[in-house]
Structure 1
Amino acid sequence: MLAAVADAPGRLAEAVAVREVEAPPAPGAGEVVVRMVASTVNPSDAVTVSGAYGSRTTFPLVPGFEGVGVIEAAGPGVPPGAVGLRVLPLGSAGAWQQYKRLAYAWCVPVPDDLPDEVACFAYVNPLTAVTMAERFCGPGVRRVVVTAAASAIGGQLAELLAGRGIAPVGIVRGTPGRTVAEPSRWRAVITSDDPGWRERLRAETGPGGADVVLDCVGGDVGGAVHALTARSGVFAHYGLLSGTPLPAECFTGRGARVELFRLRDVVRPTGGRHLPALFAPVFEHLRHGRLGTVVARRVGLSKLAAHLGSPAAAEPGKTLIALQG
């Protein structure tokens, strides 16, 4: 079968090559083999391939944490009728290959009314957005700041918060051609490259500061936003797009509480048994046209390595990988 493989840590464009590899063996007890249909490229793939998680990453590695496929073979102990089910195969990387072997417990059945190109994107961003909105933005929360507001998950967070009657303040970097989705959902959008952006944020959040910050940037921008978060507030840190950790002073206990949100901690506690219930609200949103993902380009698996090294890979929108192409 074809697979995209990183033999050693590095940048996606340099580390990943597509080649023929051995197909997975027959599934063992409680296991299935999934014929992958579609996957996508996420920042988490780039971070993992970079070697940032050295203690839990082994090379050679097939990247890909998100995708959809069909169960083609099942081992002993798998429920009757599993073969033929369309599923999200979670719990590990490995979506950038034509067949993936894994425990059936990590397969989330996909509703029949969700197309592959919608279901493919149900995991990383929508599940993160739904979980964080539920966890951090309950009753009484009004002043919310979202960093990387022009990102796909930034738009999804704004959509969910609008349903709660909250118009967040968005922080963007000011990259040419990038802007927030649905500007009407935002109280204000502030560019961190502009002089005086901190003063403008202070004016938007008021003298008490933000109740909640949803931050996936870190670095100096994250540190500056943390300083403008209410002492009684929550700074939810769930990503590191800047590549630089939050300043040490964010963790001294003298400011807002920093909560590190990791999606893997949400999906792993019961070994996959709670996943159908966890995804139910995500599927419901997707079914009603919410939390959508803009697909900017489609590439076959055989062309993926070339795509990762092209300028198109840096353009706005997501890449849909056709795994059988």
Structure 2
Amino acid sequence: MLAAVADSPGRLADVLTVRAVGAPAAPGAGEVVVRMLASTVNPSDEVTVSGAYGSRTAFPMVPGFEGVGVIDAAGPGVPATAVGRRVLPLGSAGNWQQYKRLGYSWCVGVPDDLPDEIACFAYINPLTALTMVERFCRPGIRNVVVTAATSAIGRHLAELLAGRGLTPVGVVRGTPGRAVTDPSQWRAVIRTDGPRWREELRAAVGPGGIDVAFDCVGGGVGADVFTLTARHGVFVHYGLLSRTPLPAECFTGRSGARVELFRLRDVIHEDGGRHLPELFAPVFALLRSGGLRTAVGTRVGLSELPCHLKDPATGRAGKTLIELQR
């Protein structure tokens, strides 16, 4: 079978190659082999391949935390009816290959009425956004700030917050060609490439400060947003697009604001996967009603992926859909 392999840590576009590798062995007890149909590229793939999680990442590795496939074979202890069912194979990387072997308990069944190109994106961004909003946006919340507001997850957060009557303030880099999808869902959008963006953010937030900040940037931008978080507020840090950690002073507690490190991995691995169907039920319901959709910018076959990742325009006009059996 074909697989995209990173032989060593580094920049994803530099270290990824596609080559023929051995097909997975027959599934053991409680295991299945999934014929992968589609996958995509997320910042979590890039960060993992960079070597940031050295203690739990071994090379060579096949990246890809998100995707959809069909159970092709099942081992002892797996219901015979599982074969042929479309699933999201979760709990590990390895979705950038044509077949993946994993435990059946880590497979979430996909509703029949969700096409592959929608189901493929049901995991990382929608589940993260929904879980964070439900966990941190309690009644009484008024001032919400979202960094990387033009990202896929920024759009999901704005959509979910709008459903609660909240219009957040967005923070963006001002990248040419990138804009928030629906300006009506944002109270203001602040570009950090302007000389007075901090003053503009402070004015947009108001004297009460930020009740909840959702930050996936970190670094200096994250730190500046943190300084505007109210004493009773919470700063939810769930990504590191800047590749620069938050300053240590954000974690001292002296300002009174609470920093919450949200990791989707912790939510998924909470009880060995037993709660996954319940966890995904509201995500699937929203997707079926037209919510939390992800725009596909480019479709590529697996063999085309390394070249695609080298293109500077990758990701600017929507997500990449990797068609693994093409």
Q: Tell me the TM-score range normalised by the shorter chain.
A: over 0.9
Question: For 1:121-151, what per-residue CA distance to the aligned partner results, in whole angstroms no more than 9, with x for missing partners?
Answer: 0001000000001001121111100000011
C-alpha contact (below 8 Å) 2:177/2:316 kept by paired residues: no
Q: Give the whole-Å Cα distance in 1 for the aligned partners of 2:43 and 2:272.
A: 24
1:52 aligns with 2:41: no
Report the AA paired with residue 127 of structure 2: L
- Structure 1 unaligned segments of length 5 or more: list them: none
TM-score, normalisation: structure 1:
0.99
Question: For 1:149-170, what per-residue CA distance to the aligned partner results, in whole angstroms no more than 9, with x for missing partners?
Answer: 0111001100000000000000
Report the AA paired with residue 260 of structure 2: E
Q: Give the whole-Å Cα distance in 2 for the aligned partners of 1:19 and 1:80.
A: 32
Find the counterpart in structure 2 of residue 272 from structure 1.
Answer: 273
Question: For 1:180-235, what per-residue CA distance to the aligned partner results, in whole angstroms no more than 9, with x for missing partners?
Answer: 11000000001111122111211121112010000000000100010001011000
Paired residue total: 325
Q: Give the whole-Å Cα distance in 2 for the aligned partners of 1:62 and 1:316.
A: 25
- Secondary structure in 2 aligned to 1:250? helix
Report the AA paired with residue 238 of structure 2: Y
Following TM superposition, the consecutive aligned residue runs of length 4 or more in structure 1 with deviations greater than 3 angstroms are none
- Secondary structure in 1 aligned to 2:225? helix
Q: Give the whole-Å Cα distance in 2 for the aligned partners of 1:94 and 1:219.
A: 29
- Secondary structure in 2 aligned to 1:235? strand
Q: How far is 1:252 from its partner?
A: 1.1
C-alpha contact (below 8 Å) 2:65/2:90 kept by paired residues: yes
C-alpha contact (below 8 Å) 2:31/2:101 kept by paired residues: yes
C-alpha contact (below 8 Å) 2:11/2:46 kept by paired residues: yes
- Secondary structure in 1 aligned to 2:155? helix
Question: For 1:265-314, what per-residue CA distance to the aligned partner results, in whole angstroms no more than 9, with x for missing partners?
Answer: 00001111100000000001100111110100000011111111123424
Q: Give the whole-Å Cα distance in 1 for the aligned partners of 2:35 and 2:278.
A: 24
Question: For 1:230-252, what per-residue CA distance to the aligned partner results, in whole angstroms no more than 9, with x for missing partners?
Answer: 01100000000011001111111
Report the AA paired with residue 17 of structure 1: T
C-alpha contact (below 8 Å) 2:218/2:237 kept by paired residues: yes
- Aligned-CA RMSD value: 0.8
Alignment of 1:136-285 (within 5 A): 136-255=136-255, 256-285=257-286
C-alpha contact (below 8 Å) 2:297/2:315 kept by paired residues: no
Q: Give the whole-Å Cα distance in 1 for the aligned partners of 2:273 and 2:181.
A: 33
C-alpha contact (below 8 Å) 2:234/2:260 kept by paired residues: yes
Q: Give the whole-Å Cα distance in 2 for the aligned partners of 1:214 and 1:314.
A: 21
Report the AA paired with residue 14 of structure 1: D
Q: Give the whole-Å Cα distance in 2 for the aligned partners of 1:227 and 1:12.
A: 33
Question: For 1:42-88, what per-residue CA distance to the aligned partner results, in whole angstroms no more than 9, with x for missing partners?
Answer: 00000000010000000010000000000010000012300011000
